[in-house]
Structure 1
Amino acid sequence: MVKTKKFILEKTFENMPKESDLKLVEEELPEIREGQFLTEAVYLSVDPYMRAYVHKLREGDTMIGYQVAKIIQSKHKEFPINKYVIGDFGWQTHSISNGINTSGDMLPYPSLIPDIGSLPLSLTLGILGTTGNTAYFGLLEICKPTAGETVVVSAAGGAIGSHVGQIAKLKGCRVIGITGSDQKCIWLKSIGFDEVINYNNHSWRNCLMEAVPRGVDCYFDNVGGEISSIVIQHMTRYGRVAVCGSISSYNCDIRHLPKATIIQPWIVFHQLEIRGFVNANWNSRWNEGIKQNLYWIKEGKIHYKETITEGFENMPKAFIDLLNGKNLGKAIVKVK
């Protein structure tokens, strides 16, 4: 028998999660049956969406999340031993799967990891996985930027935002990033962003106005709230907005969400197109995004950062650090 360690939701989050809201438990797994395989986690993804989606869990449920895992036992012909797989297995060290996605998130997981050469496997949770495809399809299919246009990206220092900005640069755009620390500003400038604005600077709105004298053609929105209201006020006629997330409200009581300046006047007068999306919309083209991002990495055209936390027991800390903006690029936990 194999034992798995896992984090369960001990107490429903109120505002910013606390480490005590998650409890580490141990559980004995049954023997695998025909058509099943057993995995051992290697890397686990830490993402903002986890905070937004946790309301779907009941106390006692395993915390949600994707992981890279090694297949250590198998009675499934399509998932052989010693291969690596991405799965929506949650925060646990060992998992049993039949190869069918039962999480309801519609993504093409579990799936075997494709050949990425000498690159680290952790990238398949980031720029060569859901993160990369979110940036790739969200920007190119919704914003549809063209050379010479101005693109603004919020939460630009995170995994998705930093990738979006670099793709926009490859398309010949002028790219403005909005982020929350001077360290992130420096890094984003080093990878090609034209201007980077720290929203913790009290004069950040003036900085934005100076950075976009002709207005904003495309806005990739990861944060919502007042920051997005201000950006949208500066958009050009027929501007496009891809709404990826709303980080500014994830820790708020859903019954008492923060108020932001209304944006309808600008939507109407500038005839803006605003569209929310989920990356599962492009399941049929999933490998297209991965192949293109892999090509850009190998060509040195796209750069990435990973904030790696060592030790499965540190999952809650890594998650809370992410929500506090302490990560640079993609947040990952290495199991051991």
Structure 2
Amino acid sequence: MTENTHATSTQVQLVSRPDGWPTAEDFRTVTVQLDDLGENQVRVANEFMSVDPYMRGRMSDAKSYIPPFVLGETMDGGAVGRVVASRSADLPVGTLVLHQLGWRDVAQADAGAFRAVADLPGASPSLYLGILGMTGLTAYVGLTEIAHLAPGETVFVSGAAGAVGTAVGQIARLLGAGRVIGSAGSDEKVALLKEKYGFDAALNYKTAPVREQLAELAPGGVDVFFDNVGGDHLEAAIDVMNDHGRLALCGAISQYNTTDTAEGPDNMVKFIKGSLSMRGFTLGNHLDKAGEYNEKMSEWFADGEIQYDETVVDGIENAVDAFLGLMRGANTGKMVVRTS
């Protein structure tokens, strides 16, 4: 295969920083002519790229745990693809690789930017962007390193029908949780959580206040809260936390696109009375747990213990629409874009 294979790349760039909800006008799609491969470089035809809630934060230039996207430059993010041209002995043509050069259909860089992964018999390589990758690791770290889940405890998961949420529910059960409760944004997703993902109970946050519903579903209280949403879900969870309960804050999607200052929970005194602890986390500080997680997940996956859903949007030209849909809860499970 020659170096001219896939010699152009269609890429998505951020051109303005959203104020509130992002719109299609904040982005542009360009076609880039790729240079000839340099020594130890490879060219990869991406098969799938990831869109994730954290990317909304990178569209702002506010100080955060990860640098913002640069205006006028191609964005990045998780992707999986196959080497189509190579000047690296370690990554020959045909190798499946995982990397962070998403938001494009063809990626080119030094071989060190890519990590070879095994083909998955009977399964899509997109799983490396979800349950077999950072998404699943995030769930595992939150439950073990942050919340220190113990067997028999009750877990409440907000945003439970999303990629991280569905992973949290299943991993919590596999780690011995006694009861798992989730929240989602439709009756269909509530049914999915209970029927497919093994949640003992679930609520539709759009039908009645979360505070009222959660109190009914958790008469024995909650020991661990894994939060992807914030706002009313956080407030509701504090209400029902058992003494010495732990709250792991992974995301706050309810606040990512608001232009107003969010009000804090009105029940913070419960932290004193119940000796509660709350800790936010980002995965980058816990990558040392990846080996442990991969070993456990490989066993669970091979044993048929893991369920998953993907919402797949076709075409790099529709990547922005996929991201905007993710922000409004249009996904069940992991949202990915099929770029090839």
Please, which of 192, 195, 218 is the counterpart of residue 212 of structure 1? 218
1:96 aligned residue: 108
Q: For 1:263-304, what per-residue CA distance to the aligned partner results, in whole angstroms no more than 9, with x for missing partners?
A: 431222211121111222332331331232232122222210
1:264 aligns to what SS in structure 2? coil
Distance, in Å, in 1 between the alignment partners of 2:286 and 2:199 is 27
Asked if 1:172 corresponds to 2:177, the answer is yes
Conservation of the 8 A alpha-carbon contact between 1:45 and 1:331: yes
Partner of 2:272: 268
After superposition, the C-alpha distances for 1:226-277 in whole angstroms (9 at most, x for unaligned) are 2212211211111111111111111123xx4321324431222211121111
Say whether the 8 Å CA contact 1:132–1:290 is kept in structure 2. no
Residue 20 of structure 2 is matched in structure 1 by 15
Q: Pairwise CA RMSD of aligned residues?
A: 1.6
Q: Tell which deviates more after alignment, 282-291 or 215-224.
A: 282-291
Specify the alignment match of 1:287 in structure 2. Answer: 291
**2:330 pairs with 1:326:** yes
> Contact 2:214–2:236 at 8 Å: present in 1 too?
no
Contact 2:48 2:79 in 1 (8 A): yes
The answer to whether 1:74 aligns with 2:86 is yes
Deviates more, 1:122-131 or 1:298-307: 298-307
- Is residue 141–residue 289 contact of structure 2 (8 Å, CA) maintained in 1? no
Letter of the 1:311 counterpart: G
In structure 1, the residue corresponding to 2:59 is in which secondary structure? helix
Match of 2:153 in 1: 149
Contact 2:96 2:119 in 1 (8 A): no
- Residue type at the aligned position of 2:331: N
**Mapping of residues 39-118 of structure 1, within 5 Å:** 39-55=44-60, 56-100=68-112, 110-118=114-122
In structure 1, the gaps of 5 or more residues are: 102-109
C-alpha distance in structure 2 between counterparts of 1:115 and 1:3, whole Å: 26
Instruction: Map 1:238-277 to 2 at 5 A.
Output: 238-253=244-259, 256-277=260-281
Letter in 1 for 2:103: W
- Structure 2 match to 1:195: 201
Q: Structure 2: which amino acid aligns with 1:63?
A: M
The answer on 1:301 being equivalent to 2:289 is: no
Aligned mates of 1:22, 1:260 — CA distance in 2: 32
17-26 vs 185-194, which moves further: 17-26
Structure 1: how far apart are the matches of 2:209 and 2:17?
Answer: 37
Q: 1:226 corresponds to which letter in structure 2?
A: D
Looking at structure 2, the residues matched to 214 and 93 of structure 1 have their Cα atoms a distance apart, in angstroms, of: 50
Scaled by the length of structure 2, the TM-score of the pair is 0.91
- Once residues 95 and 150 of structure 1 are traced to their aligned partners in structure 2, the CA distance between those partners, rounded to angstroms, is 44
Measure how far apart 1:127 and its partner are: 0.3
CA–CA separation in structure 1 for the residues paired with 2:275 and 2:38: 57
Residue pair 2:193, 2:199 contacting (<8 A) in 1 also: yes
Please tell me the residue identity of whatever aligns with 2:231: G
The change in CA–CA distance for 1:197 and 1:138 in structure 2 (over 3 A counts) is same
Equivalent AA in structure 2 for residue 67 of structure 1: A
Q: CA deviation at 1:209?
A: 0.5
Residue equivalent to 1:107: none
Distance 1:146 1:22 in 2: 45
282-291 or 186-195: bigger deviation: 282-291
Report the Cα offset of residue 115 of structure 1. Answer: 4.8
TM superposition outliers: structure 1 runs of 4+ over 6 Å: none
Aligned residue type for 2:69: L
Separation (CA, whole Å) in 1 of partners of 2:231 and 2:314: 33
User: Is there any run of 5+ residues in structure 2 with no aligned partner, and where?
Assistant: 61-67
